[in-house]
């Protein structure tokens, strides 16, 4: 009897063990099928784009501000195909269908939010007049080429190029830092057209004789040989035009990262103004550490840019700040107050007048450029004091001066007026507008370089 119970108990243990193994195998098979179904669904959605009857997928990054890239377009088409091929009659694959429906809804909402802004966008024409960065690009290209000519001591070409179309105010050292230095009615296109149509000619360059000491002058043989020499120099305006186009392409390569950096910093400042600061995580600090060590403009890992690169950064910042000031005034004039009350309407009108007076004071300073020598003579002055003592200004001077202004009386009309029209709020709005201006100027720069090619 004892032996029979022992065998029965052991058989019960063995059967339990075999049942456990069988259930584990069945569960693994079901999980494997579910995973395969999920991968097949995702693969079907990602591989809807084909090239030569082969499935492909793209790794293009999404365009900022709601733009639609190639992957978004492919994903949208794949969602439509996956939704059309979905079999709603099957009820056995409940887990897989629920997972597929969830992923499908999330993807559809993401694509809809991404595509909708791009459908309403229209091509924007390039800026003209004092807001045309193409004229500034040609101005700095001329000054950079003058620097190269002076460095190579090509005085004939240097002097001819400075006098061409009365542009003698442009120098080779970058001392002329005004924004509107290209003084042609037709802009850069007229300048290059006149340069290409100018005839080539030759000039005779007379070199001064070498200086002889008193003892050498008494030597008749040396005195007879100490005469000035001359040579022929040919000026080719068409070649100069081609060189200016090449220099402009180099400047565009350097200015685009500068505009990207200005826009990024402005968006960070606006985010800081609108939201409380957050503690930086270790991952964000690690990313910022390596971002500062990326390839700089002008070379593969070095800082060998164009000769006037440091001055060009400040000029580009001043240019986009002047454009942003004018656009912020237009934005304030076109917007409607938060409430339709008379107080808010009067506060908006007063804010437009205040900002127009501010722009009339600072835009001439932005056009002129900073007075670095005068600033150094002041020493260390209190913040916000020395900006108004100079005839010129940098871009940071404008934002700093606006930020330090006391709130005018119209800002106390209501809470909405203080939130929208106080100097701190206008400074944050100026940075937001300037970030958008930088994005648009990048497109203008690239379009100008394409037209020059």
pLDDT tens for 363-387 read: 999 999 888 877 777 765 555 555 6
Q: Mapping DSSP to helix (H, G, I), strand (E, B) and coil, where does residue 388 land?
A: helix
Identify the residue with better confidence: 262 or 7.
262
- pLDDT reading at 298 higher than 50: no
Comparing 95-109, 203-217, 342-356, which segment has the lowest mean pLDDT? 95-109
**Tokens read off for 291:** 């971002």
Predicted pLDDT of residue 379:
67
> Lowest mean pLDDT: which of 27-41, 178-192, 241-255?
27-41
Output the pLDDT for position 293.
Answer: 63
- In Å, how far are 20, 169, 277, 364 from 393, measured between CA atoms? 81, 20, 30, 9
In the beta sheet, which residues pair with residue 55? 50
pLDDT at position 64 over 70: no
Reading the block at residue 67, the tokens are 């733009």
pLDDT score, position 57: 37
Closest CA to 421 of 407, 403, 440, 435: 407
More confident: 388 or 16: 388
- What gap in Å lies between CA 94 and CA 86, rounded to an integer? 13
Residue 40 pLDDT class (50, 70, 90 cuts): very low
Across 129-134, average pLDDT: 90
- For residue 122, the 8-state DSSP code is -
pLDDT at 257: 93
Per-residue pLDDT, averaged over 183-211, amounts to 87
From the list 178, 218, 111, the residue with the least C-alpha distance to 322 is 178
Find the mean pLDDT for residues 93-101.
45
Nearest of 135, 238, 137, 144 to residue 185 by alpha carbon: 135
Q: Is the dihedral of CA 349, 354, 358, 360 positive or negative?
A: positive
Q: How confident is the model at residue 80 (pLDDT cuts 50, 70, 90)?
A: low
Q: Are strands 201-206 and 230-235 parallel, antiparallel or unpaired?
A: antiparallel
Mean pLDDT (whole number) for 351-373: 90
Q: pLDDT tens, 303-338? A: 557 889 989 999 999 999 999 999 999 999 988 766
Output the pLDDT for position 370: 86
Question: Is 100 a residue whose pLDDT tops 60?
Answer: no
Can you count the helices (H) and strands (E) in the chain?
16, 4
Instruction: Please report, in angstroms and rounded to a whole number, the separation of the first and last CA atoms in the chain.
Output: 103
Distance CA 239, CA 151 (A): 18
Q: Which of 409, 430, 412, 411 is nearest to 421 (CA)?
A: 411
pLDDT band at 114 (very low <50, low <70, confident <90, very high): very low
Contact present, 368 and 343 (Cβ < 8 Å): no
What average pLDDT does the structure give for the chain? Answer: 74
Mean pLDDT along residues 219-245? 85
Per-residue pLDDT band at 18 (split at 50, 70, 90): low
User: In the structure, what pLDDT confidence band is assigned to residue 216 with cuts at 50, 70 and 90?
Assistant: confident
pLDDT for res 292 = 64
Distance in angstroms (rounded) separating the CA atoms of residues 76 and 110? 10
Query: What does the angle CA 133 – CA 136 – CA 137 come to, to the nearest 5 degrees?
Result: 85
pLDDT at 188: 92
Residues 328, 358 contacting (CB under 8 angstroms): no
Which two tokens mark 118?
A: 């791009």
Q: Which residues contact 323 (CB under 8 A, 6 or more apart)?
A: 127, 131, 434, 437, 441
The whole-number average pLDDT for the span 142-169 is 92
Place of tokens 């690009």: 137
């Amino acid at each position: 009897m004892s032996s029979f119970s022992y065998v029965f108990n052991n058989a019960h243990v063995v059967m339990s063990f075999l049942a456990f193994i069988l259930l584990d195998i069945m569960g693994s098979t079901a999980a494997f099928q579910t995973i395969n179904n999920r991968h097949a669904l995702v693969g079907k959605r990602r591989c809807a784009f084909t090239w030569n009857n082969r499935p492909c997928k793209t790794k293009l990054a999404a365009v900022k501000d709601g733009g639609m890239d190639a992957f978004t377009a492919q994903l949208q088409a794949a969602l439509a195909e996956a939704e059309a091929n979905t079999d709603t009659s099957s009820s056995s694959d409940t887990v897989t269908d629920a997972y597929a429906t969830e992923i499908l809804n999330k993807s559809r909402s993401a694509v809809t939010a991404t595509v909708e802004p791009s459908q309403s966008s229209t091509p924007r024409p390039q800026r003209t007049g004092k807001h045309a960065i193409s004229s500034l690009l040609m101005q700095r290209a001329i000054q950079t080429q003058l620097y190269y000519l002076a460095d190579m001591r090509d005085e004939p070409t240097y002097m001819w190029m400075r006098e061409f179309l009365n542009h003698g105010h442009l120098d080779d050292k970058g001392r002329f830092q005004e924004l509107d230095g290209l003084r042609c009615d037709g802009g850069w296109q007229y300048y290059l057209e006149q340069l290409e149509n100018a005839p080539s000619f030759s000039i005779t360059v007379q070199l001064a004789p070498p200086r002889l000491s008193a003892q050498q002058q008494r030597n008749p043989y040396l005195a007879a040989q100490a005469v000035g020499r001359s040579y022929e120099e040919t000026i080719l305006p068409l070649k100069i035009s081609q060189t200016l186009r090449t220099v402009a392409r180099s400047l565009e390569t350097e200015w685009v990262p500068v505009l990207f950096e200005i826009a990024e910093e402005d968006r960070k400042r606006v985010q800081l103004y609108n939201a409380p600061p957050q503690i930086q995580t270790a991952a964000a600090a690690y990313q910022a550490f390596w971002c500062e060590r990326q390839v700089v403009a002008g070379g593969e890992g070095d800082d060998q840019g164009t000769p006037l690169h440091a001055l060009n950064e400040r000029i580009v910042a001043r240019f986009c700040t002047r454009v942003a000031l004018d656009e912020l005034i237009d934005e304030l004039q076109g917007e409607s107050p938060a409430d339709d009350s008379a107080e808010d309407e009067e506060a908006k009108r007063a804010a437009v007048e205040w900002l127009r007076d501010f722009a009339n004071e600072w835009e001439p300073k932005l056009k002129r450029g900073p007075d670095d020598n005068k600033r150094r003579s002041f020493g260390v002055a209190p913040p916000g004091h020395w900006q108004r003592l100079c005839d010129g200004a940098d871009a940071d001077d404008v934002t700093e001066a606006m930020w330090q202004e006391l709130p005018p009386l119209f800002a106390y009309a209501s809470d909405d007026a203080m939130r929208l029209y106080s100097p701190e709020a206008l400074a944050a709005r100026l940075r937001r507008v300037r970030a958008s201006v930088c994005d648009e100027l990048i497109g203008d720069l690239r379009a100008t370089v394409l037209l020059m090619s």
